[in-house]
Structure 1
Amino acid sequence: MPRPLKPRTVGLRPEVCHFKPRGVPSKKLKTAVLTLDEFEAIRLADYEGLSHEEAAILMNISRPTFSRLVEKARVKVAGFIVNAEQLVIEGGNVEYSDHLHCPKCKQEGMDSDGIGKRAEICSNLSSCELNEQETVDAKG
């Protein structure tokens, strides 16, 4: 039996969820579906400019999972542009967060509207993450 998927935290809902080339009917286009967690990964990594480690903490997933997610999203967006497809943003196992914060020390970093604002992660992010790793290493 596969392990149940853990919901990924998304801090911003997309304002527009459907894009297509102008002048081409939707019926004639292939559709690329970008899930909400892939949208969030692209937003955090490419738009906000966060490192994969910082963005993974905000989404409550591991850094390798975030890296796979953002790579998958980039391939879909590239296919949408190169192949002149329509892009639909929907679905995925996500939960929304009104405030993004460091899950370790709970310091908030983004206003609830989140529009046009960089997700400033707590200044203790590195030490929070290091402290957690030190604790795990000490026990293991």
Structure 2
Amino acid sequence: MPGRRRCRRVGCQPSFTSFGPATAGNSEPEETILTVDEFEAVRLKDLEGLGQNECAALMEISQPTFHRLVVSARRKVADALTHGKTIRIEGGHYRV
């Protein structure tokens, strides 16, 4: 049985919550939902350049949990970029 889900700490709410391709015509692109905690994981690891242990400590989660978060986030971003989907940042189990 899984343990209690810990609340993940994020530095701040994202300034922008939706990114997507320029649309031509009436068709709306599909959406990919990136949670706020996944966004924070990518920000810390890829933008700030911190190590996984440092990132995990800042988010107050274990290193394996951080690794799963960043892998999930990167997969979603790659899918959206490859298939022309809109990325929307919302939800997740976090606190500021």
> TM over 0.5, yes or no?
yes
Task: Measure, in 1, the Cα distance between the counterparts of 2:54 and 2:12.
Answer: 16
Aligned to 2:59: 59
| Aligned alpha-carbon RMSD (Å) | 1.7
Contact 1:32 1:86 in 2 (8 A): yes
Contact 1:26 1:86 in 2 (8 A): no
Q: CA deviation at 1:3?
A: 3.2
Which has the larger Rg?
Answer: 1
Aligned to 2:86: 86
What count of residue pairs does the alignment treat as equivalent? 96
Query: Amino acid of the residue matched to residue 72 of structure 1?
Result: S
Task: Measure, in 2, the Cα distance between the counterparts of 1:43 and 1:6.
Answer: 20
What is the identity percentage for the equivalent residue pairs of Structure 1 and Structure 2? 44
Q: 5+ unaligned residues in a row in structure 2: which ranges?
A: none
Task: Measure, in 1, the Cα distance between the counterparts of 2:53 and 2:94.
Answer: 19
Q: CA deviation at 1:19?
A: 1.0
Query: Amino acid of the residue matched to residue 66 of structure 2?
Result: F
Aligned to 2:44: 44
Query: Amino acid of the residue matched to residue 34 of structure 1?
Result: L
- Alignment of 1:70 onto 2:70: yes
- Taking structure 2 as the reference length, what is the TM-score of the superposition? 0.92
- Taking structure 1 as the reference length, what is the TM-score of the superposition? 0.64
SS of residue paired to 1:28: coil
Aligned to 1:95: 95
Greater relative contact order, per chain length (Cα 8 Å cut-off, separation 6+): 2
Aligned to 2:7: 7
1:84-116 Cα distance to aligned partner (Å, 9 max, x none): 0010000001000xxxxxxxxxxxxxxxxxxxx
